[in-house]
Chain A
Amino acid sequence: MKYSEKILSIFFVFLISMMFVKSMVNILKFVDEIKNQPHKIIIEVCPTKSEEYFNKFEDRGYLFALYRYKSMGEKCKE
């Protein structure tokens, strides 16, 4: 194997090693998420005026805010 090919092989092995380490991190994250279900998004529409807005797909900002609001798992606004 030529010198340049050796360098390339080392670079490639380094890249795969980094990915492998990230896989291990992801496995730990996966286990943690299974255990704790951290940000389970609840998208049932609140039985308030917001439902009307929601169904009529009001402006993007409001809609997104509504989704985000629900994603925090908080109770519906009265």
Chain B
Amino acid sequence: MQRIINSLLILLIIFNFLFVSLGAYLYPIASIDAVSIWYLKAKAFYLNNGYIPLEVLKNKYYLNTHPQYPLLLPFIFYIFYVLLNGINETVVAFINPLFYLLTIIVVYKLLKEMEIKTTLSLILTYAYSMLSPFLAQGGRKHSGDADIFILFLNWLAIFFSYKFIKNKNYNFFYILILIVMISSQIKAEGIFLAPILLFIPVSKKLKFFSIVLSLIPFTLWRVFISYYNIPNDFYFILPSLQEMTIRSFEIFYYTLKEMLKINNWYVFWPVFFVIFILGKRKNEFIKKFIYPSLIFYCGGFFIFYLLSSISPQTYVSTSIDRILLQLSPFYYLIFAESVRNISFKK
């Protein structure tokens, strides 16, 4: 019986991969961010023979392409254009389904590493693969968006953190530093992954060294922005205390509103909070690594929203689904661990 259930779950997961792939095939350029930020900059790289397209980054007509976003992803897309001998978004759109699949594999591998039984690992992996924002980023109308790459790197970072804590193999630790470096060059918020290094059990000296090292690409990119006066379409402000209170309320309100969207999350969030309150957590990795990392990550986003020149009403309501997705590797492990401890002890 268990074999049949496992096979059914694997089939459903494979179907999800086919489903997002078909989405990437039928709707390869349906996302405005993909068209106007990532593909556009990749095209600019291509037309500029691989050199940084400063004329685009400094041009005020392109302000809403987020000129200050790091350029790693457009550069990778550009390499594909070179390999394909021309600009071809229909092919590049399949990178998202590929990362959807890779993410699912990492999720399953990590759950197995955490000694969760095969069937439960498959159920949890299937449930994760069904989250609508993940399906969307996987290719259902959001091909070419960058969030799935951040998501993949977050899962990979947790995977290697777990491996390092378990085996004390320092190669995993160095891979982790590299992941943080790459993440900071996908999108600005990728830097929020850096605080996880604080919670890796290594000497203070190595911790300090790793954080400094991981921040180098981010710092270099900021220096580049400053040196070339790259403009931005939004900036940071210091609101009054009263304004901060209102903004905080709005951030929580729109986050909660998103969590209650059945179309996106089914009843995941109510179930999560019930399990979170009533469930038991015994795993030291969750307690000492996942919890503090999640708090720091959430704190980063909270401050980002709080001090942004764009009002939370506009910003949070239009972006919180993908932010929750980026945070999912942390809270989903808490969920998985709690589920393991309650219903499927044997």
Contact = CB atoms under 8 A, between A and B. Distances in A.
Per DSSP, are chain B's interface residues mostly helix, strand or loop, or mixed? helix
Interface in A18-62: 18-20, 22-23, 26-27, 29-30, 33-34, 37-41, 43, 55, 57, 59-60
B267 A37 contact: no
A64 B32 contact: yes
B65 A60 contact: yes
Contacts of B27: 39, 41, 71
A55 B47 contact: yes
Contacts of B338: 8
A41 B34 CA distance: 14
Contacts of A23: 12, 15-16, 130
Contact of B271 (A12, A26, A55): A12
B278 interface: yes
B267 A18 contact: yes
Interface residues of B, number: 42
Contact of A5 (B15, B61, B266, B342): B342
Nearest to A26: B19
Interface residues of A, number: 35
Contact of B275 (A12, A41, A57): A12
Contacts of A60: 32, 35-36, 40, 62, 64-65
A15 B271 contact: yes
Given A33-B26, A63-B40, A8 B19 contact: no
A10 to B, nearest CB: 9
- Residue of B12, B28, B342 contacting most chain A CB atoms (<10 Å): B342
B343 A30 contact: no
A33 B40 CA distance: 28
A30 B342 contact: no
Contacts of A22: 130, 266
B29 A30 contact: no
A33 to B, nearest CB: 6
A9 B12 contact: no
B278 A7 contact: yes
B129 to A, nearest CB: 9
Interface string B20-39: 00100011111010011000
Given A11-B274, A39-B26, A64-B36, 14 more contacts: A8-B275, A12-B343, A15-B267, A18-B267, A23-B130, A26-B15, A30-B15, A40-B26, A41-B30, A55-B47, A57-B47, A59-B62, A63-B36, A64-B35
10 contacts: A5-B342, A9-B342, A19-B126, A23-B12, A23-B130, A26-B15, A43-B29, A59-B62, A64-B36, A71-B30
